[in-house]
């Protein structure tokens, strides 16, 4: 089934999970789309079976906490950042709940974590104003970039370059093979004092870059020229070539999911998400016609969506 405007309008809530007692920080689908894993402020890591639509296993990181989490290329291992004790990144085997390796180096909270789509490389960005390049096979940092502000970062779909958003005002593009020579392109955007950049993501074809924020501005950029193609007045997340976000409406008890077409900039759907608070995480399943969303409130919902047709 092709992901069209009409198909998106037909999406409905299929499952609501209430395994967490605190805010869901992040979730990630496995590359085969069969499982999704979530991290929460209640120190839990919950693994869900997407085909059966039920929780599969719950692990805990009581000592270190768990913030950002990403699958590696193996469906039974993840890397995650901590929000307690230190800022070491941990490589965890889900099969036996044992750490495979630690990646120390950051001195402040990790705010960006991206796995290469092609190999065992991953990058991390931290409030210590650095981006570090890692290889799962070694605990040693493979590359270090000192920046002038808070970074966000992400690999392109081919794993050949990565983009770094710096100080909420510029995007720098690096060739992975020669990143030590500095960026090969820099795009400077108008600085918005009312918000900070919270994420940066390439579209699946590598032609667009989505910059999301924690406030009133976000942009879709041309990945080759840096030109702003669309600018929206609210925060949102990327869903393949579609852009979605949770909008808080004070007179409405349940938070909807708004859907835009990234190419035209037009809103194409308003989905009843049944969220009781602003949506904090949203991601599309890479293999199945589903996506998951989560809100942060007294009750945590992780909803998986399927077309009703």
DSSP secondary structure string, 223-244? TTT--EEEEESS--EEETTEEE
What pLDDT was estimated at residue 237? 41
Find the CATH number of the domain harbouring 145: 2.130.10.10
Least-confidence region, from 76-80, 132-136, 200-204: 200-204
Q: Which H or E element spans position 174?
A: strand 170-175
The whole-model pTM stands at: 0.86
**Band of residue 305 on the pLDDT scale cut at 50, 70, 90:** low
Dump pLDDT digits (tens) for 135-185.
999 999 999 999 988 999 999 999 999 999 998 889 999 999 888 889 999
Into how many domains does the chain fold?
1
Q: Which two tokens stand for residue 207?
A: 């032609």
Portion of the chain with pLDDT greater than 90, in percent: 49
Q: Domain of residue 110: give its range.
A: 5-307
Please state, in angstroms and rounded to a whole number, the distance separating the CA atoms of residues 77 and 5: 35
Inter-residue contact 257 to 281 (CB < 8 Å): no
Portion of the chain with pLDDT greater than 70, in percent: 85
């Amino acid at each position: 089934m092709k992901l069209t405007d009409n198909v998106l309008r037909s999406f409905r809530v299929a499952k609501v999970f209430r395994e967490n007692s605190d805010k869901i920080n992040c979730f990630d689908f496995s590359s085969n789309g069969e499982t999704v894993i979530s991290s929460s402020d209640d120190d839990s890591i919950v693994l869900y079976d997407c085909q059966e639509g039920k929780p599969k296993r719950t692990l805990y990181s009581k000592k270190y906490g768990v913030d950002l989490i990403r699958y590696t290329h193996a469906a039974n291992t993840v890397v995650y950042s901590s929000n307690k004790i230190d800022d070491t990144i941990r490589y965890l085997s889900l099969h036996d709940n044992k750490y495979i390796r630690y990646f120390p180096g950051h001195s402040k909270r990790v705010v960006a974590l991206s796995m290469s789509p092609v190999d065992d490389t991953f990058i991390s960005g931290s409030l210590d104003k650095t981006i570090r390049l890692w290889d799962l096979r070694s605990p040693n940092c493979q590359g270090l970039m000192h920046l002038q502000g808070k970074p966000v970062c992400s690999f392109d779909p081919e794993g050949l370059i990565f983009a770094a958003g710096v100080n909420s005002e510029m995007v720098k593009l690096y060739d992975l093979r020669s990143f030590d020579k500095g960026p090969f392109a820099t795009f400077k955007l108008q600085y918005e004092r009312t918000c900070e950049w919270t994420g940066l993501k390439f579209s699946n074809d590598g032609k667009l870059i989505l910059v999301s924020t924690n406030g009133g501005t976000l942009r879709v950029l041309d990945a080759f020229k840096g030109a702003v193609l669309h600018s929206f007045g609210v925060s949102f997340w990327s869903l393949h070539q579609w852009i979605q976000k949770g909008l808080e409406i004070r007179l409405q008890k349940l938070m909807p999911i708004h859907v835009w077409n990234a190419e035209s900039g037009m809103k194409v759907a308003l989905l009843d998400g049944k969220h009781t608070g602003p949506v904090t995480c949203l991601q599309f399943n890479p293999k199945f016609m589903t996506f998951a969303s989560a809100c942060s409130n007294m009750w945590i919902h992780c909803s998986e969506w399927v077309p009703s047709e």
